[in-house]
């Protein structure tokens, strides 16, 4: 293994292929666990019509009744399928949350652009994390 200082959560096969020392196995506490692995790149992967795409975004909203409903409405009106929604507290800001959303579609698709503009217009913070081929 080239990088002696690295650590990874990977399959047994990957560890063997890379010559990595296995320090623990069976670390999941949930037998139906599915771990998502990502490959990060500075270069954007070109659009490929043969692939189905997912996109991940993160945003914050003002703490007001209906704020999340109004943001999510943009996806419903554009016919976009949300596949995951999580909320995380914003460090140092009581009762403020960041929402992480995965959905079917690529960030530069026409319908997706319309939905993202709707969410961004309602957000105090907004970022497209990435679009990637759906597994």
Residue 35 annotated among the catalytic residues of the structure: yes
Q: Which of 11, 37, 83, 125 is catalytic?
A: 37
Question: Tokens for 59?
Answer: 């945003």
What does the block give as tokens for 28? 């999941």
Backbone angles phi, psi at 72, to 5 degrees: -70, -25
What is the number of alpha carbons within 13 Å of residue 119 lying toward its C-beta? 28
Is 11 labeled as catalytic in the residue annotation?
no
- One of 35, 55, 75, 126 is an active-site residue; which one? 35
> Cα angle vertex 87, ends 32, 104, to 5°?
70
Beta carbons of 78 and 105 less than 8 angstroms apart? no
Calpha distance 71→33 (Å, rounded): 30
- Which residues are designated catalytic? 35, 37
């Amino acid at each position: 293994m080239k990088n002696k200082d690295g650590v990874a959560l990977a399959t047994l096969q990957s560890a063997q292929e890379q010559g990595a020392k296995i320090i623990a196995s069976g670390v999941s506490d949930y037998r139906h666990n599915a771990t998502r692995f990502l490959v990060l790149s500075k270069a954007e992967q070109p659009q490929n019509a043969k692939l189905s795409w997912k996109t991940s975004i993160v945003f914050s909203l003002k703490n007001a009744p209906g704020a999340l409903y109004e943001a999510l409405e943009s996806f419903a009106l554009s016919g976009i399928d949300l596949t995951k929604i999580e909320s995380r507290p914003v460090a140092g800001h009581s009762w403020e949350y960041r929402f992480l959303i995965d959905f079917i579609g690529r960030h530069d698709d026409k319908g997706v652009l319309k939905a993202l503009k709707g969410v961004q217009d309602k957000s105090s913070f907004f970022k497209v994390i990435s679009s990637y081929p759906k597994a």
